[in-house]
Structure 1
Amino acid sequence: MDPLFYNRFSVPVVTGTPQVPASQEKKTQATGQIEEVSFRDILQQQIRANSNLEFSKHAVNRVVQRNIDISESKMARLNEGVRMAEEKGLNEPLILVDSTAFIVNVKNNTVITTVSSNDLKGNIFTNIDGTVII
């Protein structure tokens, strides 16, 4: 059998574009094209909806990697901790909500990093100027 003829039938031919589930697609306003939305983007949107705090890129990565629960009640308590830290004049406090630690830049309303209960033991926190336990 001719190798060229054989190769033509052994390689599958695929046409068109792959379908993206509706939950993962987002149309851009300017072009009307569909772009894929990542889990990180969805997480950022939920955080913004439930809080006036922003999460840095590093903090979002830590939330995803460490599988940290960011529920509405936990975000409300974190916001309360940030308010208390601001009243006391803290700039970068460590805020403990249950068994999760957050380091927050109060001036910018930005969570810098998060640490779950599994990673708290043996961890040293530097460059903080106070601790708020909620």
Structure 2
Amino acid sequence: MSLQINNINHFQSGQQIQKQISKPNKFKEYLTNEINEKLHLKISKHAHERLSQRHITISETEWSHIENKIYEASQLGVKDSLVLLNEAALIINTQNNTVITAMDRKEAKTQIFTNINGTIIMD
């Protein structure tokens, strides 16, 4: 009889271990979701209008790369970043992951950029 009790206790311990393992997986899933949420850039109304007016198109692949670089920049303490692409220049606030404004590269050549503390060149 004691052998069966040990087996039952062992089985119950196995269930407890399984529950403990699943809790960190939920936490890992939560962290992953939070990080992914922080990676997604928002585009301000102003920036959206600028992109549209200037016929600037940015591919999904480029947006994904920009999002990753903005996340890296925010980890380094950058708050507002100038992002230079082949065809465009973007000002992005890393604290709220928002594209503030956009212009084409020709226009950007004549601009003075203030209130930025980081630049990402993605040529």
CA distance in structure 1 between the partners assigned to 2:103 and 2:90 by the alignment: 7
Check if 1:71 corresponds to 2:29.
Answer: no
Structure 1 position 111, deviation (Å): 0.4
Q: State the aligned residue count.
A: 84
Residue of structure 2 aligned with 1:58, choices 26, 31, 46? 46
Q: Is the 8 A contact 1:78 1:97 kept in 2?
A: no
Contact 1:81 1:133 in 2 (8 A): no
The structure whose residues are more often helix, as a share, is 2
CA distance in 1, matches of 2:42, 2:62: 15
Gaps of 5+ in 1: 1-50
Equivalent pair of 2:56/2:87 in contact (CA under 8 Å): no
Q: Deviations over 1:14-39 (max 9, x none)?
A: xxxxxxxxxxxxxxxxxxxxxxxxxx
The structure, 1 or 2, with the larger RCO (C-alpha pairs under 8 Å, 6+ apart) is 2
Identity of aligned residues (%): 40
User: Which runs of at least 4 in structure 1 moved beyond 3 Å after TM superposition?
Assistant: none
Q: Is the 2:44–2:99 Cα contact (8 Å) retained in structure 1?
A: yes
The answer to whether structure 1 residue 82 and structure 2 residue 70 are counterparts is yes
The two structures have a TM-score, normalised by structure 1, of: 0.58
